[in-house]
Amino acid sequence: MKALGITATFIFTTILGAGAPQAKGPTIKIGAIFSTTGPAANLGGPEARTLEMLVQEANQKGGIGGYQIDLVLKDSGSSPEKAISLAKRLIEEDKVFAIIGPSTSGETLKIKSIAEEGKTILLSCAAAEAIVNPVASFVFKVAPSDSHAARRIFEQMKKMGISKIGLLSSNTGFGKAGKEQVEKLAPGFGIQVVANEVYDKDATDLTAVVTKLKAAGVQAFINWSIEPAQAIVIKNARQVGLSIPIFQSHGFGNIQYAKAAGPAAEGVIFPASRLLVADTLPADDKQRSVLLKYKQSYESHYKEDASTFGGHAHDALLLLGKAVDKAGTLDKEKVRAALENLQGVVGTAGIFNFSARDHGGLGMDAFEMQTVKNGKFVVFSDTAAKK
């Protein structure tokens, strides 16, 4: 079926190719690798849909920097191995100008060196600090760092007088990277991790794990994962009568999990980008208009709630467009340099300020502490006083 589609597209473009592109001007070929299927599908799905929508919109308006976008979208099935072969194919065979994605940290870390050696700009939509630290000149990331998320959680915990916590994480790249950050940063905030458990990403029930937290007598716990398990764990915690504050990672930033957990999700505290609470932001918020525009066009286009992950794809394309605009040419090195010097670009995840040393571009303030109230994401009230 897929092969048929590709063939059809091929024939279609060959037949029409003679006339159409010349009339529309030069093209820029952009590759994208997303986990459209597999365990991280809830990241890759919205990302792929966002990119398809935005590329179509951009092309109708004359493309980016005057170039029509030719998007080559690939599904990695959330598998790092597949991401490697896709990255190689995009760089060597499709000869794309830049790659957007992958969706997960595990995949990105596996193709970091491939993009660097292939001198192809990589705009990862994943969170792990290790993607941009150490810096690879062609590798950027648009998702906020897990270390920032951990710091924001700890700041909040200190305010609440919490010092003994439990940590749960899933056995994925995201869970592992988050676990490392939490373990590393906790002592600096005077917080002690007294129970530390890793569970399987396909877990269907976690009652025994939360029972262990209960027995350890923790004052709060953090869960770090992106799978349905993050909704299951809060449900199980409440079922066994664990009434302590629950913190989640920014992986919780998809309303479907809050909906799935129903009343159990109420009061869960997590750091996430402002996209989720766009309509409740004050009118003078710098990101407000960008957020609302993306959110509204995504939601009217696909009839589903926008998530922060789709926002990452939005930001990646936006940044690439700005860089191409600024460089004024399709020279990979010049566009890379332009990207590295972008300042004050307002995206959905925050305000990007890249530099030669910082290819992440986002600060701690990219995160807003949020909670779930009546089945909706709202800004956590304690933080309203903070700057």
Binding residues vs another protein (CB under 8 A): 36-39, 41-42, 45, 171, 196-200, 202, 204-205, 207-209, 211-212, 214-215, 228, 231-232, 235, 238-241, 256-257, 260-264, 304
Closer to another protein by Cβ: residue 139 or 232: 232
Reading the block at residue 89, the tokens are 């194919």
- Shortest spacing between CB 216 and another protein, in angstroms: 11
Q: How far apart are CA 67 and CA 213, in angstroms?
A: 55
Decide if 348 contacts 275 (C-beta within 8 A). Answer: yes
- Shortest spacing between CB 367 and another protein, in angstroms: 24
The SS3 assignment for 160 reads: coil
CA distance between the termini of the chain: 53
Decide if 145 contacts 127 (C-beta within 8 A). Answer: yes
Q: How far apart are CA 270 and CA 272, in angstroms?
A: 6
Closer to another protein by Cβ: residue 98 or 233: 233
Closer to another protein by Cβ: residue 121 or 229: 229
Closer to another protein by Cβ: residue 48 or 191: 48
Decide if 347 contacts 142 (C-beta within 8 A). Answer: yes
Q: How far apart are CA 70 and CA 68, in angstroms?
A: 7
Closest CA to 332 of 121, 135, 84, 142: 121
- Shortest spacing between CB 37 and another protein, in angstroms: 6
- Shortest spacing between CB 38 and another protein, in angstroms: 7
Closer to another protein by Cβ: residue 39 or 361: 39
Closer to another protein by Cβ: residue 141 or 201: 201
Closest CA to 232 of 279, 196, 266, 264: 264
Residues in Cβ contact with 332 at an 8 Å cutoff, skipping those fewer than 6 apart: 97, 119, 120, 121, 138
Phi/psi at 71 (5° precision): -90, 125
Closer to another protein by Cβ: residue 101 or 360: 101
- Shortest spacing between CB 42 and another protein, in angstroms: 6
Closer to another protein by Cβ: residue 257 or 352: 257
- Shortest spacing between CB 56 and another protein, in angstroms: 19
Q: Alpha carbon 273 to chain centroid distance?
A: 10
Decide if 37 contacts 44 (C-beta within 8 A). Answer: yes
Q: At what angle do helices 173-185 and 105-117 cross, to 10 degrees?
A: 100
Closer to another protein by Cβ: residue 151 or 312: 312
Please compute Rg for the chain using Cα positions: 21
Q: Which residue has the tokens 């005057």?
A: 66
- Shortest spacing between CB 319 and another protein, in angstroms: 26
Closer to another protein by Cβ: residue 47 or 129: 47
Question: What are the residues facing 11 on neighbouring strands?
Answer: none
Bin 267: left if φ > 0, else alpha if -120 < ψ < 50, else beta.
Answer: left
Residues in Cβ contact with 122 at an 8 Å cutoff, skipping those fewer than 6 apart: 98, 99, 108, 111, 112, 115, 138, 139, 140
Decide if 124 contacts 173 (C-beta within 8 A). Answer: no
- Shortest spacing between CB 165 and another protein, in angstroms: 16
- Shortest spacing between CB 43 and another protein, in angstroms: 9
- Shortest spacing between CB 204 and another protein, in angstroms: 4
